[in-house]
Chains A and B, each alone.
Chain A
Amino acid sequence: MKEIRIHGRGGQGSLVLAQFMAIAALEDGKYGQAFPFLGGGGERRGKPILAFCRLSDQPIRLRSRVSEPDYVIVQDPTILNELDVAEGLKSTGTILVNTEKDVVKLGLKGSFRVFSISADDLARKILGRPIMNTALLGAFAALTKELSLDATLRAVKSKFSGELGEKNVRTVQESYKQLTGELS
């Protein structure tokens, strides 16, 4: 089983991203579980919030918070100034940050790997708005291989139809390509 923690701000759709991953897992014939921060306050816009996702080949029975994630996704780089996104991250873990900055300038130090994608820019370019979750979904799939590209595309299509669906599919394909390029 792999565990993912998503750091975002209220309104950025952290849970939506986790749900996309859970749907993609089902499309891959696996199991996914997506859930929001369990133990915080209300759902205020702009406040740092958390969402979690578990991916497994077996049905998932754990129903507690993710405290030692394999992967961390940061939707908003300004959160890096407010809290330690690497807390509890496995030493072999990976952090994916949505930023246009070079990863070495993010100040994240540890044995984990750090990758970035300018998901906002990609979303602006294709969707016309900085709604970056589908860009992060594609990047995550490319980076981790926990989800197939095909499954993420089907997950996106299950939520968005028509032109919006097509644009989001392109966003996933583009971010997948970018990160695959970065890995090679």
Chain B
Amino acid sequence: MRKVLTGNVAVAYGAMLSDVQVVAAYPITPQTTIIEELATMQADGLVDMDYIRVESEHSAMAACIGASMGGARAFTATCGQGLFLMHEMLHYATGARTPVVLANVNRAAAAPWTIWSDQTDSVSQRETGWIQLYCEGNQEVLDTTIMAFKIAESLRLPAMVVLDAFFLSHTSEPIDIPDREQVRDFLPPFDPGDLWLDPNNPRTFGGITMNDAYMEFRWQIQRDMEKAKAVITEVHEEFARVFGRKYHQVEAYQAEDADVVIVVSGTVASTSRDAIDLLREKGQQVGMVKLKTLRPFPREEIIETLKGKKKVAIIDRNFSPGATGIWAQEIRNALYELPEGDRPLIYGYIAGLGGRDISVKVIESIYQKTLKDNRPDDVDMWIGVNYV
């Protein structure tokens, strides 16, 4: 069935089709319509779940962790300030090995107050041990929500579906809604195995750990995060077999013979496809690489894709003050191990913070600058800033 849906409603459909059992959430623009839609779906009898209203995002995540430890499939959604408030519990969800799924609508950080999009909220959670899956369109949002449960539950690690505020959350477009029974075959009920809070077999989890054991818990998380790369690829492939839509952790578009490769994530990937086609028509040897996963970082695939390219332009819709854009950091880190002749020049661009438009023209100007400059002017170049 094809319907015109916003990104937020697409998330709700994804959670509903995944037969989510517990939703604990706190409203915050531009996320609110996700949990509103889920509440409507519950009222309409479309999903059999408990809906826990909480007093903050911190409590929302705490409730999801509890539900997940109780063996339930748990989901929440938030954005920006809400995700920042959740931060402590995000670490806890990973440590407790609870496969909670969270949809984060990318909202820029206050102050000054804003409701518009950039990735600062989600990239700030890079070290929490959450799998992060970025989306470029509403179809990908719906499909990724379903896949996120499968990925998270098979690894016992939490997963975050990330979508740009307004550019996706409030944008309506036609989406194919997967068949419910097919989704049920693809994603069977959550099986916590022996690791859950069973009232008939009381046990405690997460108690104090001394320095002879803590490091092993962390190592297991790292081992499973590394394993996640293969798991995500398998889930992408299985999803493609069942539903006919293929996603990639690293997707190259017109990049094979490209001299300049633009690396992007989120909705900028979508707009970049138009920009690349336009530049190709003008005879430019330019391509694009779309990154879907920030964690685990697809290091090997990135090296393989960008090895031997002359110039790589990374567009970061986020920034780490005192350092650089996060995707640029990650890519520099990965490519450093290449021998000098194979290692591309890295041009890091900061653009689109606080929802500023990243149009085809902006992408084209980034390409032209990268093509023209023999070396990057600086470790980061800010696009379209009125310096005052």
- CB–CB A35/B167 < 8 A: yes
Q: How far is the CA of A137 from the CA of B270 in the complex (A)?
A: 28
- CB–CB A32/B4 < 8 A: yes
Nearest to B168 among chain A residues (CB) is: A63
- CB–CB B4/A23 < 8 A: yes
Category for how many chain A residues contact B: 20 to 34
Q: How far is the CA of A62 from the CA of B136 in the complex (A)?
A: 10
Q: Which of A55-81 contact B (CB under 8 A)?
A: 60-65, 67
Nearest to B356 among chain A residues (CB) is: A39
Q: How far is the CA of A18 from the CA of B357 in the complex (A)?
A: 20
B172 contacts the other chain (Cβ, under 8 Å)? yes
B357 proximity list for chain A (CB < 8 A): 38-39, 64-65
Nearest to B267 among chain A residues (CB) is: A63
Q: Which of B332-388 contact A (CB under 8 A)?
A: 355-360, 362
B271 proximity list for chain A (CB < 8 A): 61-64
Nearest to A54 among chain B residues (CB) is: B173
A15 contacts the other chain (Cβ, under 8 Å)? yes
- CB–CB A62/B4 < 8 A: no
Nearest to A52 among chain B residues (CB) is: B171
A63 proximity list for chain B (CB < 8 A): 136-137, 164, 167-168, 171, 267-268, 270-271
User: Which of B117, B168, B170, B270 interacts with A62 by CB under 8 Å?
Assistant: B270
A38 proximity list for chain B (CB < 8 A): 116-117, 166-167, 355, 357
A31 contacts the other chain (Cβ, under 8 Å)? yes
Nearest to B136 among chain A residues (CB) is: A63
Nearest to B272 among chain A residues (CB) is: A61
B171 proximity list for chain A (CB < 8 A): 33-35, 63
In the complex, besides A23-B172, A36-B166, A39-B356, 20 extra interface pairs with C-beta distance below 8 angstroms are A18-B172, A22-B172, A22-B173, A25-B174, A32-B4, A35-B167, A35-B171, A38-B116, A38-B167, A38-B357, A39-B357, A60-B173, A61-B273, A62-B274, A63-B136, A63-B167, A63-B267, A63-B270, A64-B271, A65-B357
